[in-house]
Amino acid sequence: MNCTKCGAPEVIIIKKHSGQKLCQDCFVQGIERKVLKDIRKYKLIEKGDKVLVALSGGKDSVMLLDILNSLYERGIINMVAVTIDEGIKGYREDGVKIAKNHAKSLGIEHRIVTFDEYFDLTLDKIMDGSSQRKACTYCGVFRRWILNKVALEMGATKIATGHNLDDETQAILMNYLEGNIENLAKIGPKTRSKSDKFTVKIKPLREIPEKEIGLYVVAKNLEVHFAGCPYSEESFRGEVGQILKNLSRKHPTIMYSTLRGFDKIRPVIKKEFQKEFGVGECTNCGEPAANELCRACIFLRELEK
Ligand code: SF4
Ligand code: ZN
């Protein structure tokens, strides 16, 4: 079997949705081109931006850093990396180490920040107590709070995260099935707010399937943290993800069509259902908030009790 692009004999992937058979070089180049094209198409990054990459050390963020580095090397953007240590013993340490190595090898400023230093808590401590919520709920809210705060401190103009096609279609389907249309209105390649305390978040890998990200890091021999988080319990998101994976076997374009269809109705959903996010400020911590307190402060008060 030969590469449909260059004719090379060693094919590493057959893209079922497009019928392309690609060799390693053509696959890697194709992915890099696609991500950079999406960045231009959705105007995710502009010349002179200081992009903060949320770098966990997992495959998505490592690939994101690797591709954005091509813009950094050419002096188009400035780039910093931030790794959040949630305090998950036996899991997070390896990711932090890998993230550190990548940032160092690319000569990028890197900050490691912990739940402990900001909230005097670790995720393990939260989950040891009589926590009312699931680990991922605390984790997501506290991580977003820290990222936004650190981005402001570091003067970043964009926060780039490694959300991929699977993550995005899971979020679309999950929120739709739950009837959570206000959350649905927040989904997209770029999240912004009227508050100047809120740094714009971008998802340059939003149209890249998770499988291809795995193949990219292997093809480029990039060190990544593959271990699973001990708290990634059976969640509704996981169930929805499984449904989409099963459907994709017989219908390889299903995730793309879910995303495309959603993107067509997104402007209407946003207009009708989007709450003005983050226009106010949390009366406790000063971070952007839709209500009197931001979600992080609401959770911290619950935990104090
Ligand atoms: Fe946090 Fe949940 Fe991810 Fe673990 S699986 S790192 S708890 S969001
Ligand atoms: Zn707050």
pLDDT digits (tens, 9 = 90+) for 258-284: 999 999 999 999 888 876 554 688 999
Tokens 């402990």 sit on residue: 116
**Residue range 119-144: mean pLDDT, rounded:** 91
User: Does an H or E element contain 102, and which?
Assistant: helix 92-106
Return the pLDDT at 59: 98
- Determine the Cα–Cα distance for residues 182 and 202; give it in Å rounded to an integer: 19
**Residue range 31-46: mean pLDDT, rounded:** 97
Domain boundaries defined on the chain: 32-304
- Whether the pLDDT of residue 43 is over 50: the answer is yes
**Angle ∠(181,168,209) on CA atoms, nearest 5:** 160
**Residue range 142-156: mean pLDDT, rounded:** 96
Model pLDDT for residues 195-232, shown as the tens digit of each residue: 788 999 999 999 999 999 999 999 999 999 988 899 88
3-state SS, residue 22: strand
| Pocket of ligand 1 contains residue 131 by CB under 6 Å | no
State the average pLDDT for the chain.
93
Contacts of 66 (CB under 8 A, 6+ apart): 102, 220, 222
Nearest atom, ligand 1, residue 136 CA = 2
Among 231, 234, 299, which residue has the most ligand 1 atoms within 8 Å of its CB, making it the best to mutate? 231
Rg (Cα) of the chain, in Å, rounded? Answer: 20
**Angle ∠(134,136,142) on CA atoms, nearest 5:** 110
Buried b (16+ CB within 10 A) or exposed e, 260-278: eebbeebeebeeeeeeebb
Domain covering 32-304: architecture: 3-Layer(aba) Sandwich (3.40)
Q: What percent of the chain has pLDDT over 70?
A: 98
98 alpha carbon – ligand 1 mean position (Å):
17
Low-confidence winner among 85-99, 150-164, 181-195 (lowest mean pLDDT): 181-195
Return the pLDDT at 56: 97
Ligand 1, atom 5: closest residue by C-alpha: 232
- What DSSP state is assigned to residue 85? E
| Pocket of ligand 1 contains residue 63 by CB under 6 Å | no
User: Does an H or E element contain 212, and which?
Assistant: helix 210-219
Global model pTM greater than 0.85:
yes
9 alpha carbon – ligand 1 mean position (Å):
41
Among 86, 124, 134, which residue has the most ligand 1 atoms within 8 Å of its CB, making it the best to mutate? 86
Return the pLDDT at 266: 93
User: Does an H or E element contain 169, and which?
Assistant: helix 165-177
Q: What are phi and psi of 82, to 5 degrees?
A: -130, 130
Q: What percent of the chain has pLDDT over 90?
A: 80
- Determine the Cα–Cα distance for residues 213 and 251; give it in Å rounded to an integer: 20
- What DSSP state is assigned to residue 155? T
Contacts of 271 (CB under 8 A, 6+ apart): none
